[in-house]
Amino acid sequence: MIALAKTARILQGWSVLHGSAENYFVEVIRSVGGDPKRAALELGRVGGDWKLPGFGVPIAAEALRNLGFDLSKPDRHVCRAVGSFGLVEFRRWTDRSGTKAPSPRIEEMMKVMAAVESFARGVGVRATFLDNAIWLLCARSGCHLTNEELSALALPS
């Protein structure tokens, strides 16, 4: 909570100087060539020029989604589904039993967001919509499918 209070102060100061807190996020996206996925990395990665306290990449992606940008949130559910579907390989996912999730690295989170975006484009929906559908397959408040059940949904290669 302390880190999020620091973020609120940063955004409030930005709002005073630049007209709105939303402008902060727009500037981040502009600084990375207009790509909301790369903006999520900048907002959430340690050492990023635009890093906000208390934000990791998934929370940064969620903030951008809440502002209307179309991208996937590479949280534990989406990462394990995309990994189970065989769309992204994770170096740190030794225990794939049950609903255990990988421990994604920054570059792997970028690959997850790109994979969901590509998949969404292929089926004619927004990445945010597909992300929500994938999340519902995995979360306790949804179907809560295991990794094995998710793998069974993947198309044969």
Q: What's the whole-model pTM score?
A: 0.93
What is the total count of domains within the chain?
A: 2
Identify the pLDDT of residue 96: 96
For residue 21, give every residue at least 6 positions away whose Cβ sits within 8 Å of its Cβ, in sequence order, or none: 11, 12, 14, 15
For residue 90, give every residue at least 6 positions away whose Cβ sits within 8 Å of its Cβ, in sequence order, or none: 79, 83, 102, 103, 104, 108
pLDDT tens digits along 100-126: 999 999 999 999 999 999 999 999 999
Identify the domain containing residue 30 by its residue range. Answer: 2-66
Regarding whether 86 and 117 lie in a shared domain, the answer is yes
- The radius of gyration computed from the CA coordinates of the chain, to the nearest angstrom, equals 16
Quote the CA–CA distance of 19 and 128 in Å, as a whole number: 27
Regarding whether 87 and 48 lie in a shared domain, the answer is no
For residue 86, give every residue at least 6 positions away whose Cβ sits within 8 Å of its Cβ, in sequence order, or none: 151, 154, 157
Regarding whether 120 and 52 lie in a shared domain, the answer is no
Under a CB-based contact definition with an 8 Å cutoff, are residues 77 and 116 in contact?
no
Residue 157 predicted with pLDDT over 70:
no
Regarding whether 145 and 108 lie in a shared domain, the answer is yes
